[in-house]
Structure 1
Amino acid sequence: MPKTSKASATEHMTLEGYEGHFTELDTGYTVAFESYSSDADLADYFKGLPDDRCQCPHWGYVFSGKVMFKTADGDETFEAGDAYHVGPGHTPVLYEGTEVVEFSPTKELQQTIDVVTKNMEAFG
């Protein structure tokens, strides 16, 4: 059975206000251990995706803090101790002091990351 942890993750990303540790499992899913050290509404980074929203579903657990997902049907906030599922068609709002683990289908996640990375580069 495949497994990973924050310490054994194969990829790492650090940006202002964000730290992520990722492993692509051989099951077609990516596990992301993420922490946020500042508040951020990331909606602008998803422009160019259908409806300008993330089209990748995520299953996650909030260890500390909170995370909000904005959708066409309204906003949903998940706090420490909550397990969640968010379907396609959302943008995240991150809060300082939050730590989560998320499970996402790798193919859809990569399509999203490609657009987000392009937008981040354009914003400088």
Structure 2
Amino acid sequence: MPKIAKQETQDVVSVEGYEGRFAELDGYTVAFETYTADADLAELFKGLPDDRCQCPHWGVVLKGKLTYRTRDGEMTIGAGEAYYASPGHLPFLHAGTEVIEFSPSKELQETLAVVEKNMAAAG
């Protein structure tokens, strides 16, 4: 049975307002994420079906809050709450937030390919 601690992760992404530390656990990606700036990420998902993230996520907000917008409305998850974000969502990140999130690696990589292309195009 695999496990990982945040400080053991080797894959680190750090950009203004965000740090993510990632590890693969038996077909799932675990992400330890910290948000230091508010960010509406809707533009990064352009080009995916319905221009929304199609990867499901399960997670826990350790500190702060995280908002997911769907066609049916929005859900804000606060510190100490667990969540499931079904395909078809858009995240809004709030400064001062820390989460641990689990996603199926295949779907996540397909989504991140589009997100990275959009980030590169934005400069």
Partner residue in 2 for 1:81: 80
What is the match of residue 16 of structure 1? 16
Within 5 Å, give how 1:100-111 maps onto structure 2: 100-111=99-110
Long gaps (5+) in structure 1: none
CA distance in 2, matches of 1:10, 1:29: 15
Q: Could you tell me which residue of structure 2 aligns to residue 64 of structure 1?
A: 63
* Displacement after TM superposition at 1:75 (Å): 0.5
What is the TM-score of this pair, normalised by structure 1? 0.98
Deviation string for 1:47-88 (max 9, x for gaps)?
000000000000000000000001011100000010000100
State the Cα RMSD in Å. Answer: 0.5
Q: 1:12, 1:65 → 2: CA distance?
A: 21
CA deviation after TM superposition for structure 1 residue 5, in Å: 1.3
How many angstroms does 1:10 deviate by?
2.3
1:118 aligns with 2:117: yes
1:85-117 deviation digits (Å, cap 9, x = unpaired): 010000100000000000000000000110000
Q: Which amino acid aligns with 1:55?
A: Q
Q: Distance in 2 between matches of 1:5 and 1:119?
A: 30
Unaligned runs of 5+ in 2: none
Q: TM-score, normalised by structure 2?
A: 0.99
Q: Give the ranges of 4+ consecutive aligned residues of structure 1 lying more than 6 Å apart after TM superposition.
A: none
Question: Aligned pair count?
Answer: 123
Q: What percent identity do the matched residue pairs reach?
A: 62
